[in-house]
Amino acid sequence: MNWQGWAEIALTLGLPFLLGWPIGIFISRVWNRERTWLDPVMAPVERGFYAALGVRPDQSQTWTGYAAALLAFNAAGFVLLYGILRLQGFLPLNPQGFGALSEPLAFNTAVSFVTNTNWQAYSGETTLTHLSQMAGLTVQNFLSAATGATVAAALARAFAADRQTGLGNFWADLVRTTLWVLLPISIVVALLLAVLGVPQTLSASASAATVEGGEQTIPMFAAASQLAIKQLGINGGGVFGVNSAHPLEGPTPLANFIAAVSINVLGWAAFFAFGRTALAGRNLRAIAIAALVLLSAGAATLYWTETQAPPALVAAGAEAAVNMEGKEVRFGAPASAVWAAMTTGASNGSVNSMHASYMPLGGGVQMFFMQLGEILPGGIGTGVGFMLMMALLAVFVAGLMVGRTPEYLGKKIEAREVQYAMLAVLVLPLTILGFSAAAAVLPVALESLANPGPHGLSEILYAYTSASANNGSAFAGLAADTPWWNTTLGLAMLMGRFPGIVVMLAIAGALAAKPKLAPSAGALPTDNGLFIGLLIGVILILGGLQFFPALALGPIVEHFQALDALAGL
Amino acid sequence: MLALLRPALVSLGLFTLLLGLAYPLAITGVAQAAFPQQADGSLILRDGRVIGSALVGQAFTSPAYLQGRPSAVNYDATGSGASNLGPLNADLIAETLDRATAWRAETGSAEVPGDAVTASASGLDPHISPANAMAQAERVAAARGADISQVRAVIAAHVEGRTFGILGQPRVNVLQTNLALDDAFAPEQPDRP
């Protein structure tokens, strides 16, 4: 560990938080249909969309209407993407001549990109045509992110509302978030990445006659445009198999830094946008700070684990200051560690180092971050939404302790909201632990493991955690392109995405109908350090209680095995 | 339900045209016009032929060249990949030990840099650490019949530092340094095609 490493980590964590503030205010203006400087360009396009869709953007929907539109849009997106992946062999822009994906793989991949998970059981450069990448995956990279943002917009309006039923219009939120926010920022980031060396070409590959007389075929693609929205939309699905570790996806430390900032910037912006639209800026800043504290602690822990002596290097008598297995020289420990924290805390799932080869406790931190429900800061909209569920539970717990009726952001929190919030929180352990338990005893699942012992259990646990939390990163040793894994992971992704969204919209519906209370001296303040501490405590206790037993059998026992192995060397 | 069908299908169609075709094609057009070298993958040409990409590692085995890190895919760029072995995996520990033994024999260096015996994340890592490069200088100099201080000078000129002093790690690009070595010294054996 050195000061440059700590400085790099601090800058990579801090810059997206600071940038997220003004961008969040801009997003709030977009949600609220206020004037912005992009109106002259985007407003005509927007009007064209509404005319073609046949919707009235000012027609506010009830929570059921909003949820139905969201689900219909996502179902249609799934069908289209599944169709493209199955038919890609017959479609244009296929210079490599790739054939169709198998049914389980197409199901898994379509679910994966529609749910913003971007779990990849395939390797892009050997499987997907240009058309599948662009018209299929890039489109869902935008739309799954915009879908998440609509949930936050609806929930934020519910807190601002006073005895209303409407949550806004799903189609308007979808179109406006995409046109005003995701597309313009993606254009900027795509051009930055391209100038730094990420390929942006329609040719399939370049053939090189290498210096020593060999041949090397280097795959090419319109990568920069897809990578921009892959990170900004907190999607995480790489163009190439090894994702952002690939030297064409993360060519330089600066390109890596820009990509890392992009992973978190809109997640934080969604917190600030939520705060402005919900008329609760101070409160949302408080919960954003709670998330930043946890994220920073995880990044610091990962930097520490990856600068501990790894048994293999110690046994070989090599320099053992950094666990370089599965890491790139240009990134080293700090850029890899902070990325690992950000990608697992933010439901992104792209990797610039191989998580499977992290020290045991490092892998444990990555899993724990995902198991918290992707709230640090999570995906655009869904992150702040789940964080709000945690805040409701924290307010409820505090209410029990001090005997006050819980209130949050001017809304009374009653039994129904707390029950719904618990439902949203309990989906994750049910899916993760249920599927992991089944996979741990079924031979059809165990055939895919790459490592024996507790690390094998970690592979299983990591896979279902990543899928259920809609993260998408992997302990990549697992051979996941089998019918069992494609199907169960696909189901886990669906479970982790839509029940939670519907529950959040149901809570929004219930809250919108309640009167907006004036701040009173009797209510627990939710914008100060005490509440930040309480919220962090609730998050850690909830997450810990749910997942500690499973983690104890995987990464934690492996950590003690590692200490044992080192003592014997 | 039918009332939802039209906006769902029409919006998907429009978004696919805008985000799936217009957006990537527009970025491609701008990038190809403004910075084609980067947009085409930072390819390096020698005598009109592509010999590789500055960003993508390639395999070197001759003692006259700096050698890159171990690769789980043997620098086959049509794939990419890592070992994905856990830190306690017995295969990983045995393999690392073998690599260290081979390294000591080849370079004569007692110190084994960590990056020289571990597989990279991509299998295509174009860089090695400066310590790794310097430790190979003696072997390179001997194979080329060159003066070791001159070889070290070529390597030192190719050490890239941290961006802005804090981003990334100091590193040496193996392909570019090897091309510079070829320019500076004729190789002992004619192993260039």
What pLDDT, on the 0 to 100 scale, is given for residue A531? 95
CA A19 remoteness from chain centre: 18
The verdict on a CB contact (< 8 Å) between A191 and B65 is no
Three-class SS of residue A264? helix
Query: How far is it, in rounded angstroms, from Cα A302 to Cα A70?
Result: 37
CA A467 to chain centre: 10
Lowest-confidence segment of A332-336, A518-522, B60-64, B148-152 by average pLDDT: A518-522
A255, pLDDT greater than 70: yes
352-381 in A: which are within 8 Å (CB) of B?
A: 352-354, 356-360
Residues of A in contact with B180 (CB under 8 A): none
Among A45, A132, A193, A325, pick the best mutation site for testing chain B contact (most B Cβ within 10 A): A325
> What would the pLDDT profile of B149-169 be if each residue is shown by its tens digit?
999 999 999 999 999 999 999
pLDDT band at A54 (very low <50, low <70, confident <90, very high): very high
Q: A139 and B16 in contact by Cβ < 8 A?
A: yes
**Interchain CB contact of B179 with A (< 8 Å):** yes
State residue B192's pLDDT score: 46
Neighbours of A285 (CB within 10 A): 16
Of A120-124, A138-142, A177-181, A345-349, the range with the lowest mean pLDDT is: A120-124
* Contact criterion met (CB < 8 Å) for B20 and A213: no
Tell whether B129 lies on the interface with A, counting CB pairs under 8 A: yes
Are B79 and A206 inside 8 Å of each other by CB? no
DSSP bridge partners of A216: A208
Q: Per-residue pLDDT for A562 more than 60?
A: yes
CA–CA separation, B129 and B132 (whole Å): 5
Closest residue to B20, CB basis, from A138, A198, A327: A138
pLDDT of res. B1: 66
Q: What is the pLDDT of residues A398-452, one digit of tens each?
A: 988 888 889 999 999 999 999 999 999 999 999 999 999 999 999 999 999 988 8
Share of chain A above pLDDT 90, in %: 88
| A207 → closest Cβ in B32, B50, B162 | B50
Q: How many other CB atoms are found less than 10 A from the CB of residue B74? A: 9
Q: Tell me what ipTM this predicted complex has.
A: 0.95
Q: For residue A36, what are the contacts with CB-CB under 8 A and spacing of at least 6?
A: A26, A29, A30, A180
- Single-letter residue type at A375: I
Q: Which residues of B touch A338 (CB under 8 A)?
A: none
Lowest-confidence pick of A9-18, A233-242, A456-465, B56-65: A233-242
The pLDDT of residue B193: 43
Phi-psi region of A186 (alpha: psi -120 to 50; beta: other; left: phi over 0): alpha
Of the candidates A251, A253, A452, the beta carbon closest to that of B167 is on A253
Cα distances (angstroms) measured from residue A127 to each of A36, A99, A115, A208, A240 = 42, 8, 21, 21, 10
So what's the pLDDT on residue A253? 98
C-alpha to C-alpha distance for B179 and A211, rounded to whole angstroms: 8
pLDDT at A524: 86
Residue-averaged pLDDT of chain A: 94
Interface test with B, best of A252, A257, A329 (most B CBs within 10 A): A329
Degrees, nearest 5: CA angle A350-A468-A560:
75
For residues A125-147, give the mean pLDDT: 92
Mean pLDDT of A209-219: 92
> For A365-395, how does the pLDDT look when each residue is reduced to its tens digit (9 = 90+)?
999 999 999 999 999 999 999 999 999 999 9
Alpha carbon distance A330, A426 (integer Å): 40
Tokens 């952002």 locate to A244
A67-112 pLDDT, tens digit each: 999 999 999 999 999 999 999 999 988 888 899 999 999 999 999 9
Does the distance separating the beta carbons of B171 and A330 come in below 8 Å?
Answer: yes
Q: How far is CA A382 from CA A146, A293, A301, B184, in A?
A: 10, 19, 25, 57
- The model's confidence at residue A543, banded by pLDDT at 50, 70 and 90, is confident
Segment B117-142, tens digit of pLDDT: 999 999 999 999 999 999 999 999 99
Over 90: is that where the pLDDT of B79 sits?
Answer: no
The secondary structure of residue A179, as a DSSP letter, is I
**β pairing state of B43-46 and A205-209:** unpaired
Which of A190, A225, A354 minimises the CB distance to B121?
A: A354
B46 phi, psi to nearest 5 deg: -130, 125
- Distance from C-alpha of A280 to C-alpha of B51, rounded to nearest angstrom: 58
Q: Is B188 exposed, middle or buried (0-12, 13-18, 19+ CB in 10 A)?
A: middle
Length in residues, chain B? 193
Q: Closest to B7 (Cβ–Cβ): which among A54, A183, A327?
A: A54
3-class DSSP state of B50: strand
Q: Is residue B76 very low, low, confident or very high in pLDDT (cuts 50, 70, 90)?
A: very high
Residue B187: pLDDT band with limits 50, 70, 90: low
B43–A208: do the CB atoms touch at under 8 Å?
yes
Within an 8 Å CB–CB cutoff, is residue B161 touching chain A? Answer: no
Q: Chain A 33-62, CB below 8 Å of chain B: which residues? A: 49, 52-55
Residue A221 has pLDDT above 90, yes or no: no
